[in-house]
Amino acid sequence: MVLGRTSVTAAQAPRPRSDGDAEGLIDVLIVGAGPVGLTLANQLGGYGLSTVVVERGASLIDYPRGVGMDDESLRVFQAIGLVDEIRQHTTPDQYLRFMTAKGRCFASVEPKTREFGWPRRNAFVQPLIDKVLLRGTTRFSSVKVIFNCELLDFAQELDHVRAEVRDDTGKIRHLHCRFIVGCDGGRSTVRKILNIAFEGKTDSTRWVVIDIQNDPLAIPDAYLHCIPSRPYVTMALPHGIRRCEFMVLSDETDEELCTPQGLQKLLGAVLPKPEAADVIRSRVYTHHARLAARSVPGARSSPETPRISCQSGRARAITVAYAMSAISPGNSPQSSAAWLLRACLKAMSRSAAAMRRP
């Protein structure tokens, strides 16, 4: 399925001319239409760079995911001209209350300030924000988002990167770009192809995550119940949605917990009538916290050479930001990446022009 006004099939995407003229090249190929890839696409669109986003899925991910965003995220959305639309799907200044097993609040995080001009903690519903970001790309004729298109492999040629993708008909195609940026999540294909390892260890925990509409509790803020037998979280989200997360115990299986009866049993700890809960989405997820060892593998320092960059995993964990922080301090990973890509592309065209001069 192809979504969005600017979406194209892989066959329609720009291709290099056989004489090697760079005109047909895509400036930037982004792998992954999650929030990181789509934000970067909006930024590059603003710069007028030709950008193609390839997304393996048939549509945006819709299972329960992010619920809390900070002021820096809003600053980034302001920079790409989408903050007003995005704020319609946020609740500002959400408190986090940490509760003992007996129901006493022993700690509370109460953000009230505006150091960067925006509320410091905002509840949100990720699928709604991702949709705004996708719609945002349609403002730019230079940006294409291709669904059902999986990156399989890529290689650096002399003057560009050649990417092999499988399109929605199952055909293998090649896209040619000046830069490829991996925004393909924690299990990033780009990271694996580049043989970039995760550093350190992760103390993973599994959680059943449930979003309910027509919030039966209708109380604001987020409550983290530190109950040794089963910790759980419940929080108010925008549009009358309630998020509940329950830790999975070592002897429990996903299958038994995710049946309607299993979900009802869990929700019984939170809701007066769990059988009446209007569940929108639910899923078991395993929480990991890890950093990729490198973000720009084997990149040569000359701006004339094409580069391959990897922005995988959580936006916070994107090491590109650290690599680029010396250049544009205070910027987000995506805006730093967009800034650097634009600078490199400008330098590349200057140097190509100089080489053409007699």
Ligand X SMILES: Cc1cc2nc3c(=O)[nH]c(=O)nc-3n(C[C@H](O)[C@H](O)[C@H](O)COP(=O)(O)OP(=O)(O)OC[C@H]3O[C@@H](n4cnc5c(N)ncnc54)[C@H](O)[C@@H]3O)c2cc1C
Which residues make up the interface to ligand X (CB under 6 A)? 31-37, 54-57, 61, 64-69, 126, 150-151, 183-185, 189, 209, 285, 314-315
CB of 347 to ligand X, least distance (A): 27
Taking the least distance from each CB to ligand X, the nearer of 178 and 191 is 191
Taking the least distance from each CB to ligand X, the nearer of 57 and 111 is 57
Taking the least distance from each CB to ligand X, the nearer of 85 and 168 is 168
Cα distances from 166 to residues 23, 54, 186, in angstroms, run 24, 10, 20
Query: Are 238 and 280 in contact, with CB atoms under 8 Å apart?
Result: no
CB of 56 to ligand X, least distance (A): 4
CB of 12 to ligand X, least distance (A): 17
CB of 209 to ligand X, least distance (A): 4
Query: Are 266 and 119 in contact, with CB atoms under 8 Å apart?
Result: no
Taking the least distance from each CB to ligand X, the nearer of 35 and 136 is 35
Taking the least distance from each CB to ligand X, the nearer of 71 and 348 is 71
Query: Are 53 and 30 in contact, with CB atoms under 8 Å apart?
Result: yes
Taking the least distance from each CB to ligand X, the nearer of 42 and 348 is 42
* Burial (0-12, 13-18, 19+ Cβ within 10 Å), 121: buried
CB of 353 to ligand X, least distance (A): 34
Dihedral sign, Cα of residue 74, residue 72, residue 330, residue 65: negative
State the residue number with the nearest CB to ligand X.
34
**Residue 53: closest CA among 39, 64, 65:** 39
CB of 357 to ligand X, least distance (A): 40
* Burial (0-12, 13-18, 19+ Cβ within 10 Å), 331: buried
Terminal-to-terminal C-alpha distance of the chain:
49
